[in-house]
Structure 1
Amino acid sequence: MSAETTCATEASGLLRRQDVKTLALSALGGALEFYDFVIFVFLAGAIGQLFFPPETAEWLRTLQTFGLFAAGYLARPLGGIVMAHFGDRHGRKRMFMLSVLLMALPTLVIGLLPTYASIGYAAPLLLLAMRVLQGAAVGGEVPGAWVFVSEHVPPQRVGLACGVLTGGLTAGILLGSLIADVVHGAFGDDAVLHWAWRIPFLVGGVFGVLAVVLRRYLAETPVFRAMRERQALERRLPLSVVLRHHRRAIVMSMLMTWMLTAAIVVVILMLPALMPKLFGITPATALRANTAATLALTLGCVLTGLAVDRFGLRVTLGTGAAGLAATTYLLFAALAAGTSHLTALYALTGLFVGMVATVPVALVRSFPPAVRFSGISFAYNVAYALFGGLTPLAVSFWLRNEAMAPAHYVAILCLLGVAIALSGALPTSGTASLCTDADTGNRPVS
């Protein structure tokens, strides 16, 4: 396709067949990789019994197991920053493929690891090493995927691209939950504890290899190719440029990421475990409702992306954040009253959690193409490691005195999102394309 044809297509805002293929393969690969990262938490009970001494107290075993899970989050900033550096200097596609390979191999190894009964304390240490590698991989995957898809589509369709990709990532959470349920249902608790716990990890390794193969068919982004051809790549250390010249964008990106962690961590990840303790809901009922909410979340991400393209980022963020606060309070009030409509209300709340798809659009628009990968990776991963780790602690501490603490916490962060939308701090444009100067994203190509 000629440059003139490409520019005409971008001006019309139409997706080309290649754009659709890129979105589909990127979202599928993201789902498979995120499955690899989260499947650990769905098998935490078996892992705790198998990888720590049998005489360990139950509370300590649980703490150690989730500490291993948290290690993956703590490794995200380092892995993301390193991969982003090379992504800005040497190409988005290379890092896009490396991140999924770096996820697949540790997942496969976890499925083959000997347990504490075989090799003693070496077992949890090896498991920790694999979790660190997984965290480094997902730290590069999420920002890299947002950059990759947004630089492939016309500027008028960046919302849809980020929404589809984010929906794919959330689908990976749902896939992990479903496969864990299937394994438990098919083999029973005893078999899972003895050998069947390995199946989801081995399947995840195969998924990862499949994702690597799929990504071989993707092309480098037009924006990066244009920068390389014009010799417009950042010659300095990209992260140093971000820290020196884009501090306002970093702060705004971190605040929006904080809002994202509140929505995902509290509403999707924590609530199924809280409902039995706070409201007497059976675990099975809570998990079924959570499945519906996660499905709705995936749909909500796509709808949010479409809304950004149609109504703009400010309107979509403000409306979505207000809607999430309202539906979260509605859900908790209904739970306290003993609702019989749990699944429907949880699904409605999950639909509004999809407003988190506004976050990647804002981040992509906040940094110029030459340092975009590094800027997003630093702001998003550092904020997620900080707030994602502190959110469960803050909510748990608040719950000692207030049963509505999770709803209050989510609402406060939603108000932050509304404030950002009303403040005028959000970038209204800024995604470079083949038809713009890749250095600035706003001057015509001569």
Structure 2
Amino acid sequence: MSGVSGTEPSAKQRRTAALASAVGTTIEWYDFFIYGLAAGLVFNVVFFPESDPLVGILLAFGTFAVGYIGRPVGALIFGHYGDRIGRKSALVTTMMIMGICTALIGLLPSYASIGVWAPLLLMILRIAQGIAIAGEWGGAVLLAVEYAPRNRRGLYGSWPQIGVPVGLVLSTGVFAVLTLSTTHEQMLAWGWRIPFLFSVVLIVVGLAIRLKLMDSPAFRELKDSGEVAKAPLKELMKTPKTPILLAMGTKWAEGVAFNTWAVFSVSYLTAQQGMTEDSVLIAVTIAAVFGVFFIPLWGLTSDIVGRARVYGVGSVVLALVAFPSFFLFETGSFLVVTLVLIVVFGIAYPLMFAPQGALYSELFDARVRYSGISVVFQFASIVSSGLTPMILTFLLIRGGESPWLICLYIAVVATITTVCLYGLRNKLVYTDEGPRPGSTDLSPAAETPVSEAR
């Protein structure tokens, strides 16, 4: 099948779908990231004031990890919903859930006001955030990839990923402005609430854009032909498990890389190296800006040389840069730290993140694709992303506040991911000739694709 009722999307429709997926993920990741920043800078005092500073950070990162526990639930719910009802409907629902939860976090009373109920309510809202973001990623990726020409899936699939650094730029930028314009006491009292409440405005904008979109060509084709899966998850479980497990292994290094450089580094550089909060946030923001440009570049590169090659280079680089990066962090110099973050987070990390959407999409038939990529990404995220700040903080404590155990952990994870990539090379459903027999094509374009399994 090559089209939707005999028609292919225009170039304008493809660009609109890619842009809409990027705008939507930007808003959702903004909501998700402001929590991570607040966990490292504020929540250890506002919600866990009776702990000593380092343990307080560990507890705050514990609630950060709880958001990832909700992700498998979201993957199952919205994977089923997205494969049965449509990509667009699932995306509108996830955005509404995320917006409501983020605003409620901004209105939560502190530990000083309601005691233990404060962290408990925080945890519940964080789980709901995790459920929403789990459904968001899969739908946004498919909206872009299923609209893309065959030979540009890597590029189009990278557009939703751009939402991550842009969302990070917005969130760290807002926090940087607040730390510069308020005193520490004001920040703890009310300043931290502003980024959470501001998300209401962004959600309204995002919903307005998404409600105007048509569903992806691949899903409309399934719907028109009456081939929509009645039980997507059940069908998914009948497919070979090896590609799913290997894909989860490839997610590990990417999740560790992001949470090391974008989340953990903020608290590490402020608490351990004595840098100011605003200077660290500015450094992370600058690095994220570089990611906005390198993500589509590496996505396009994956269309030319292959997903696995680009992803694998990123994994190897992660292992190589860990020790020198933390060594340079010890200088406490704003310029040095900024340059390090630009290299490791703005340039190297996108090598893995950019081709990820297309790589995972090419593993599954359209009938179960939303469920498939959501299960891979979100189940793997529990360990690869959600637990990373806690693991790194624990390793820092066990290492006598020296980062050597952290660097060793990163190197081991990167090695595992590289091995999984090697095993995944020939497991893709889509080849140079298009989809294998019995598969529904990712996109309706007739172009001959560049090899996806090199």
TM-score w.r.t. the length of structure 1 is: 0.86
The 8 Å contact of residues 26 and 166 in structure 2, kept in 1 or not, is answered as yes
Superposed CA deviations along residues 359-400 of structure 1, whole A, max 9, x for unmatched, are 222211111110111111112111111332443344344443
Task: Please tell me whether the aligned partners of residues 62 and 390 of structure 2 are also in contact (alpha carbons under 8 angstroms).
Answer: no
- Counterpart secondary structure, 2:355: helix
Q: Which residue of 1 aligns with 2:356?
A: 359
Q: Does 1:392 align with 2:386?
A: no
| Aligned amino acid, residue 154 of structure 1 | P
* 1:78-110 Cα distance to aligned partner (Å, 9 max, x none): 022111101111111100111111101111222
Match of 1:251 in 2: 245
Tell me which residue corresponds to 2:452. none
Q: Distance in 1 between matches of 2:211 and 2:331?
A: 52
Aligned-residue offset at 1:194: 2.9
1:250-399 to structure 2, matched below 5 A, reads 250-275=244-269, 284-335=278-329, 341-350=336-345, 351-355=347-351, 356-399=353-396
The answer (yes or no) to whether the contact 1:115–1:123 under 8 Å persists in 2 is yes
Tell me by how many angstroms 1:297 deviates. 2.6
Partner of 1:125: 120
> What is the rounded CA distance, in whole Å, between the counterparts of 1:259 and 1:297 in structure 2?
17
Over 3 Å counting, the alpha-carbon distance change for 1:240 and 1:342 in structure 2 is: same
Worse-superposed segment, 82-91 or 122-131: 122-131
Distance in 2, Cα, partners of 1:2 & 1:85: 22
Post-superposition Cα deviations, 1:411-430, rounded to whole Å, max 9, x if no partner, equal 33333343344446354562
Aligned to 1:403: 403
Cα 1:25/1:424, change in 2 over 3 Å: closer
Q: Does 1:238 align with 2:232?
A: yes
How far residue 336 of structure 1 moved from its aligned partner, in angstroms, is 5.7
SS state at 2:370 partner:
helix
SS at match of 1:219: coil
Q: Deviations over 1:5-28 (max 9, x none)?
A: 62xx8xxxxx71111111112111
Alpha-carbon offset, residue 160 of structure 1 = 0.8
Bigger relative contact order, structure 1 or 2, given CA contacts below 8 A and separation 6+?
A: 2
Q: Find the residue that maps to 2:297 and give its secondary structure.
A: helix
Amino acid at match of 2:406: P
In 2, Cα distance between equivalents of 1:131 and 1:91? 26
Which range moved further: 335-344 or 379-388?
335-344
**Counterpart residue identity of residue 68, structure 1:** T
Determine the C-alpha separation between the residues in 1 that align with 2:207 and 2:426: 35
- Could you say if the C-alpha distance between residues 240 and 209 of structure 1 is closer, same or farther in structure 2, counting changes exceeding 3 Å? same
Structure 2 vs 1, CA of residues 392 and 147 (structure 1 numbering), >3 Å: closer, same or farther?
same
More deviation in 365-374 or 323-332?
A: 323-332
The question of 1:212 aligning with 2:175 is answered no
1:201 corresponds to: 196
Instruction: Report if the CA contact (8 A) 1:268-1:293 is conserved.
Output: no
How far 1:70 moved relative to its partner? Answer: 2.2
Superimposed CA distance per residue, residues 149-176 of structure 1 (whole angstroms, 9 cap, x where no aligned partner)? 1111112111012212112122212211
Correspondence list, 1:81-160, <5 A: 81-160=76-155
Question: Is the 2:149–2:443 contact (alpha carbons within 8 Å) kept by the matching residues of 1?
Answer: no
CA distance in 2, matches of 1:190, 1:312: 51
Matching residue's letter, 2:414: C
Residue identity in the other structure for 1:213: A
Q: Aligned residue for 1:430?
A: 430
RMSD across aligned C-alpha pairs, in angstroms?
A: 3.1
Letter in 1 for 2:311: L
The whole-number CA distance in structure 1 between the counterparts of 2:409 and 2:429 is: 30
- State which drifts further: 308-317 or 422-431: 422-431
- Structure 2 distance, partners of 1:443, 1:288, is 39
Alpha-carbon displacement from aligned partner over 1:202-246 (angstroms, at most 9, x marks no partner): 1012211221111112110000000011111112x2112222323
Asked whether the 8 Å contact 1:102–1:137 carries over to 2, the reply is yes
Equivalent residue for 2:221?
Answer: 226
Is the partner of 1:287 in helix, strand or coil? helix
Matched with 1:80 is: 75
Flag the 1:153–1:77 CA change in 2: closer, same or farther, 3 A: same
Alpha-carbon distance in 2 for matches of 1:390, 1:40? 15
Structure 1 residue aligned with 2:440 = 441
Counterparts in 2 of 1:278 and 1:114: CA distance versus 1, 3 Å:
closer
Deviates more, 1:410-419 or 1:26-35: 410-419
Moved more, 422-431 or 264-273: 422-431
Of 58-67 and 106-115, the range deviating more from structure 2:
58-67
Deviations 1:239-275, CA, capped at 9 Å, x for gaps: 1222232311211121011121121112322223334
Deviation at 1:282, TM superposition (A): 5.5
Distance 1:58 1:199 in 2: 24
**CA distance 1:145–1:279, shift in 2 (3 Å):** same
Deviates more, 1:357-366 or 1:329-338: 329-338
The question of whether the paired residues in 2 share the 8 Å contact of 1:144 and 1:373 is answered with: yes
Whether the 8 Å CA contact 2:101–2:128 is kept in 1: the answer is: yes
Question: Cα–Cα, structure 1 residues 94 and 118, in superposed 2: closer, same or farther, change >3 Å?
Answer: same
**Sequence identity (%):** 29
**Residues 58 and 270 (structure 1), Cα distance of their counterparts in 2 relative to 1, 3 Å cut:** closer
**TM-score of the two chains, using structure 2 as the length reference:** 0.85
Looking at structure 2, the residues matched to 411 and 306 of structure 1 have their Cα atoms a distance apart, in angstroms, of 27
Tell me how far 1:37 sits from its aligned partner.
1.4
